[in-house]
Structures are given as structure tokens and as C-alpha cells.
Amino acid sequence: MKDTFAPVHRLLALLAQTDFLDPGGGPDQSGDFRVSPTFFVVMFGLGFLVAVMGHIVKSRTLVAAGVLMIFLSTVLVPILLHATR
């Protein structure tokens, strides 16, 4: 029988040798990101609702707009806010 887990064992052995998994090796946390998460949660929820409505009415534009709102609320807006402050 063929060992199908051999690649997984090799990957785990490789990951065990890396330094990027060290929790102390990342950047220092300053904790000065002072924006209320309410905005992001509301924008995420609205994006989800818009995407669901797009699926219900079969509108690719609404689905894309909802997905874009979700992406903005979880990735782009927090990065831009942190970069500008």
C-alpha cells in the first residue's frame, strides 16, 4: 500500500524547522489602533446582506457589491486607517 501521509510528514518536518512560527518574532504591538470595531462589523453585516440579496434576485452586481463590502470591512479599510494614523 502507498503511504499517502508521507508528504504531510515532510511538510510538518519542514514547518518545525522554520523560525516564522515563533510568536515573539513578529513586530512589536503598539496597541494604538483606536477605531471602534462597530463600523467594521456593521459594514461586514451589510455586505453579507447585500450579497445574499444578490443571490436571491440573481444579480451578479449585487453579489459583487456585497463581496466588495465584506473585503473592504475586513481588509482594506483597517489597513488604510492604520496607515494614515
Q: What is the pLDDT of residues 10-57, one digit of tens each?
A: 777 777 766 666 666 666 667 666 677 888 899 999 999 999 999 999
Domain extents in the chain? 35-85
CA 72, CA 49: separation in Å to the nearest integer? 15
The residue type of 15 is L
Q: List pLDDT tens digits, range 59-82.
A: 999 999 999 999 998 888 888 877
Query: Measuring CA to CA, which residue among 46, 45, 40, 41 is closest to residue 77?
Result: 40
| Cα maximum dimension of the chain | 59
| This prediction's pTM | 0.58
